[in-house]
Structures are given as structure tokens and as C-alpha cells.
Chain A
Amino acid sequence: MQIEGKVWRYGDNIDTDVIIPARYLNTFDPAELAKHCMVDIDENFAKNVKAGDIIVGGKNFGCGSSREHAPVAIKASGVPVVIAASFARIFYRNGINIGLPLLEIGNDVEKISANDILKIDTATGTIENLTTGDKFKSQPLPGFVQEIAKAGGLINYIKNSDFK
């Protein structure tokens, strides 16, 4: 997938409680969750995010609760990809499983600032910062996890393969 979008930049240890606070977990409707996405850290996000915008975080993005409501809320906000120095493992799995590409790029995140425009190819993991001219590459997904991502998520994958 080719993506070009504007950056919403966040710091280290963005936890799933701030991505979608528990007070909104009495529903799992994606559109409803998107209305409250990031509210406890950035009130402007849900109001102003545009389809195609990109979230960039620091290390351990998505730590804490296993709530898949968090990547679901991000995806339903129209964000097609999240980039971070590193991801917490359950969030990472959940992203792959629901077909939200997550690109891990280590310290290179420091070369991305709020409102930069990025051009991304999720298949190859190449990222170009059109604002600064920097180019980087993310870690590739391991083995059959790539197949899950290609299928658009685990449910589609399992329908065709049953973990064979």
C-alpha cells in the first residue's frame, strides 16, 4: 500500500489507556471509539484528524492493556499506518491481526516531527520524509506474519489457511 499523509507526533510509552480510555470501552463500535481516540493526551486529534494522516510515536507504543479497541480506534480514525521506535507486543500483534500496518524504525523516529509529510510503501517498509528529505526503512515482518498482513488480517488469513 502506498500512503502519503501528515504526521501526528507523540512521545514514548503511549499506552492503550490514553489511546482509548476505559470509560469508552462499554462499546466496541469502531466509529464510536474513533470519536474518543487519543483524547486523554491530545484533545485535538479526534476533532481534526483527516483520513490518510499518520501517527508517529516513540518507544513502546501501545503499552498496557490488551484492548484491541485501541488499534481499532486508530484505524477507524482514518489513520492507515502507525510508525514508532518500538511497539508493545500485544498492540503489535493486534495491529497485524486487524490489518493496520505498524512500522518499527528505532531511533529514526527522531527525524520525524509533527506535521511532516511522509510517503510510505507498507509492502517494502520504505518511508520518505517529504518535508525533510530523509529516507528510512522499517524492520520487515517475520515469516508467515507477512502472509497475515497481506491477507488484511488474521480472520481473512485463517478462513483460507487454518494455520496449516
Chain B
Amino acid sequence: MGMTMSEKILAHHAGKNFVEPGQLVICPLDMVLANDVTGPPSIKEFEKIGKPVFDTEKIALIPDHFQPAKDIKSADLAKIMRDFAHKNKIKHYYEAGRVGIEHVILPEFGIVAPGMLTIGADSHTCTYGALNGFSTGVGTTDLAVGMATGKSWFKVPEAINVHLTGKKAKYISGKDVILTLIGKIGVDGALYKALEFSGEGVFELSMTDRLTISNMAIEAGAKAGIFPFDEITKNYVEGRVKKSYEPVAADTDAKYSQIVEINLSELKPVVALPHLPENVKNVEEVGEIKINQVVIGSCTNGRLEDLEIAAEILKNKKIHENVRAIIIPGSQAIYKEAVHRGLIDIFIDAGCVVSCPTCGPCLGGYMGILSAGERCVSTTNRNFRGRMGHVDSEVYLASPYVAAASAILGKISTPAEI
């Protein structure tokens, strides 16, 4: 019987020819990731085990959530992780000014690759499925054990085949694809399962689109969200990934628990209304929803292509007088390239705040916290109650196209309305 991409990666790592859903396997890990929120408690657990780190080159510690430090406690957290990284000679530790958001950095620096098995103490670790790897979020204890033993246990997931066809229309991006999917199957539609993408529609999606889609697999409850390997993947990893890697493809007779069809040509610009990513509506249908803030950034949509989309819409336009628009490049390299291409000029001329790379307001950390009753259109991935500030504030999730258009018109809008 054939295997899915998830089954193949887990089988290969477990040293088995075949695995099936429900089976428990213990696998060696290719990469183990934590950030400044999850790293410090992991380090505390790690120290209880009393072993050295399993491999100084296979651990990535990325200070991004509250860094550059937003307050004294956050500075203390950063220090715990910094001291640990130096003491243990962790290769992939980077200071502010040389880093960015973890899930932007790991692909950009070539730390994750096709066929790799990665765990991260961050739920959006599933992002690297875009690169044809199996990567999944875990908690701090799993992470501590991963750092000490280089291994973790997995329950082999069933997979949902998301079959993509057609071509996207103008103003449609990866964000509309994943929000539409979550709207269809719900926030627990893929609970304990992997999403695996297939079909000729895959080739219509850029690496940025794919990273956005895999990033939000967890918003459907999924353990992973994996794309097949193709020319686009190859071009992206070439020059970045220095080690050899082994792409995987699903067998033609692989078994899926469900097939979901999405025709890209039928997609409309969508928005997820508060307070769940599954509350998805076409922007055209939401009526007049006035907003106070727009955030364009995060590990979901803080890449160069996302900033280019925002700049395309904001060029020679002004942000609405009642709106604060906050632009956050996902990494230093993206920031620099955005300066170089004149995107930052466009943002500043339009009246935007431009921040250094950080998670910042995405998780209600800092740099754009909402007051009671305020509404924000955000390119981030979660609109849970209180996620970006006060419990009575509201977050609307959308693509950079919709976010930029909404910033100009002061209400939730599509670029076609400008």
C-alpha cells in the first residue's frame, strides 16, 4: 500500500519501510527550534535531564516574540536563552539586528530543507511543510527532551488531501487559499491530521503563498501542512540549504482520510471575522466595518512578496486618517531588500509605521496593542479573543491586498474598491 508524504518522512526517520496512521514511532530529529517565550522554560526542563545538547548545529534559538526586549522581564527571558546559547555553542542563535521572525528565518537561512523532520516549541513550526518537510509544533517539555536526546515520539497522522486546481485571479493570494480551506473544514477540521497539498494548482502558488498556507495549517488543528517538491521548491532552497536533502512525493495509491477540492480560479478575497480563523466571509459580503489599525507582517505574511503587494496598493496613496498602519518586515534581509526596492519609501509616504522585524502585535506583545472596542485588519494568523490586546478588541485576518486596501479606505475593503 502506498504512503503519504507525512508517512514517508516519519517512516524514513524511524528506520522503517512502512508506517500507517495511528502507529507510534520514535524518530531522530533534524532540527529543534525554540523562541524567547518557549526557549527559557525549555532550558529549565532541559537542565533537569542532566545531559549535554545532542547536536550544537541542530538547535535553533530565535529571539523574536518580545525582542528587542519590550520590558525588563522580556529582557531577562532573552538573557536566559542568550547565555544558554553561548554556553552550549548553539550554532543557530542570532541577536536582534541579524535575525527576524523564527518561521521566516529558518527557511531564509537554509536551516530547514525538503524531507527534514523538525519540531519547534511554537505552533507555527508547521510552516516548513511548504518546503516539503515534516515539521510540527510541540511544547517546552518535548523541546527540552529533543535538545537532550535528539529524538521525539510521533503518532503517525492520517492525511487530508487538499487538491488544488485552476489559476488565481488578480488580488488573490495564499492567504485567501488557506482561509477558504479553514472556512470549509473548521478550526478542528484537521485535528490530529496532516494537510497534504496536491494538484496542478500547486504550481500556481509561489513559495511565499505556500509558506503562508503551511503556516496556518495549525489553524485547522493540523499537525503539519505539506507541499510536494517541485521546481519552485528547488529554486528556493538552492543556494540556501548547504547540506544534502531528500525530497518526498506521495505515492499514487496513498490513502487519505478525506479529499478537499479547491479551485483557485473561484476564490474571492476573504476575511476571517473575530474570534476564530474559521469565520471566513468574502470581503464583498461583510458590509461596512470601520477599522482603527492595520498590521502587515508576521510569520504568515511578512515576506518580501507580501510587502511588495502592500506597496503596490499603497503607492501614491494615503492611509485613512482614522487608521494606524503598521508594517513589519519578517527578517533583516527582507527589510533591507524592501529599502533597496523603494517599498519602505512608499510605506512612509503613505503614512505607515515601519517596525524592525519582530512578532510584536501578532500575539499582543507590543508595537501595536489594541484598546477596548478597537478593530484591526491583520495579515497575521490568529484572531482569538484578546490576541492583539484588550479582550474587547477585534482582529480580522486577511491578505496583504485586503489589509492595504482597508488601510486606505478605513474599512474592510478589496483593492478593487480603491
Contacts and interface: CB of A to CB of B under 8 A. Distances in A.
Interface of A: 13, 15, 17-18, 21-23, 25-28, 40-41, 59-60, 63-69, 71-72, 86, 88-90, 93-94, 97-98, 142-145, 153-155, 158-159, 162-163
Contact of A163 (B26, B187, B188): B26
Contact of B145 (A13, A63, A154): A154
Interface of B: 22, 24, 26, 37-38, 40-41, 44-45, 48-50, 65-66, 70-71, 73-74, 77, 120-123, 125, 137-142, 144-145, 148-149, 151, 153, 155, 187-188, 191-192, 218, 221, 223, 276, 363-365, 382, 384-387, 391
A19 to B, nearest CB: 11
A155 B70 CA distance: 32
Q: Which 6 A-B pairs have the closest CB atoms?
A: A94-B139, A68-B139, A26-B73, A97-B141, A60-B188, A66-B123
Contacts of A66: 38, 120-123, 125, 137-139
B188 A90 contact: no
Q: For B26, B40, B139, B221, which residue has the most chain A Cβ atoms within 10 angstroms? A: B139
Contacts of A65: 122-123, 363, 382
Given A60-B188, A89-B221, A90-B139, 11 more contacts: A17-B363, A60-B191, A64-B218, A66-B38, A66-B123, A67-B38, A88-B221, A97-B139, A142-B155, A154-B141, A158-B49
A155 B364 contact: no
A17 B384 contact: yes
A87 to B, nearest CB: 9
B412 to A, nearest CB: 22
Contacts of A163: 26, 149, 151, 153
Contacts of A15: 382, 384-385
Given A40-B385, A89-B221, A158-B49, A26 B74 contact: yes
A144 B22 CA distance: 13
A163 B149 CA distance: 8
Contacts of A162: 149
A25 B384 CA distance: 16
A151 to B, nearest CB: 12
A6 B101 CA distance: 42
20 contacts: A13-B187, A17-B386, A18-B385, A22-B37, A23-B365, A41-B385, A63-B221, A65-B122, A66-B122, A67-B38, A68-B140, A71-B139, A86-B191, A88-B188, A90-B123, A90-B138, A94-B140, A98-B139, A154-B141, A155-B45
